[in-house]
Every structure is written in C-alpha cells, then in structure tokens.
Structure 1
C-alpha cells in the first residue's frame, strides 16, 4: 500500500482511468491497525497499486469534502469517476473488503 499525502491523493483522485481504494486512518486508532492488517492480506489478491493509505489527520479538506465521520474508513472510486465516491466504515472481514474493493475495478 502506498502512503499518500493530501496533494498526492488529490492528484490520484483527478486521474481517471484507474480505480482506487484509499484506507483512511489515524495513527493512534487501534481499530485502524486491525483493519490495516486485514487490508495487507487482501492486497495480495488485488491488482497492483489499487490500494493506498492516508492519515486523515493530515488532510482536513478531504475529510470535510467527503464527510468522513470516523476511522477506519475505506474510500472507493471507480475508474472513470462516473459514480460518487463510496465510503465504507465497516471493515468486517478480508472477504468483505475484497468484495468492496473489487466492486470498483
């Protein structure tokens, strides 16, 4: 998973033609650590470079724009950005995460 800052994330969001899933977390969140481990397992079964991570504390504008209510959160965007971004708060299981991420590929 690539760690993105706000500028890099904005650039990725503006780049159509590539689906993306961004795991939003905060460093001190215990639930985020568990969710990140699940995503690390899922990452091996996904296309390369679809999954990124971003510290939501470092991007207040994006948090406000997408109305991020809590962390962990998974921001999902399809390749042509024709649908609004979806935000998933429930991490559930590795299988559920894979299904959610594959829905945008």
Structure 2
C-alpha cells in the first residue's frame, strides 16, 4: 500500500479509495494491514492507501477516528464508510465489494 500524507488524502476526489489509518507501534494495525493486502489482490478496482496518524493528527480529528486500525472508504472524495473492527479477510472483502 502506498503511504499518503494528509494533503494527498484531501485530494482524493475520483473513484473508490480505501484509506488505512494506523500507527506504527500498533500490533493490531500490523495484522489489519496484512489482511488488507489480501483484499487488495481480490479487489483490483479499489485503490488502497495508508496514512500514519502520528504524522496526520488533524485527519484523526476531522474524521472522528478514535482508535486504530481504521479503514475509511471514500467514493469521489466523500466518506461512505468507516471500519474499526477488522473481523476477518472475508468480512473486509464483503464490506469493500459492496461499495
């Protein structure tokens, strides 16, 4: 997954983009990222990006992210869904394929 900054996040205006918010010391985030790598291979039409919240705290406030990992799905620049509990690869696939 390509790393994004807050500025790049603000410019995501076309298509469906799944943005993975994480912090580097979060063990659950590391597991969530591995799960998303599998889903990314199954859904090539969705663009997957990641944002380290340590460097973008303003996004945490703006998007009301209270815990990590958080997957925020954008459609044409608008937030359509946020997922905080990465239950399984199957669950993430189902949630993203229904967008």
Gaps in structure 2 of 5+ consecutive residues: none
Contact 2:18 / 2:46 at 8 angstroms: preserved in 1?
Answer: no
CA–CA distance in 1 between the matches of 2:41 and 2:29?
Answer: 19
Select 2:34's aligned residue among 37, 43, 52: 37
How many pairs were matched up? 99
* TM-score (ref. length: structure 2): 0.90
CA–CA distance in 2 between the matches of 1:80 and 1:9?
Answer: 9
CA–CA distance in 1 between the matches of 2:97 and 2:2?
Answer: 18
CA–CA distance in 2 between the matches of 1:54 and 1:80?
Answer: 16
Select 1:52's aligned residue among 33, 49, 52: 49
Q: Deviation at 1:61?
A: 1.2
Q: Deviation at 1:73?
A: 0.5
Select 2:25's aligned residue among 28, 53, 56: 28
- Say what the alpha-carbon RMSD is for the aligned residues: 1.6
Runs ≥4 residues deviating over 2 A:
78-81
Tell whether 2:99 aligns with 1:89: no
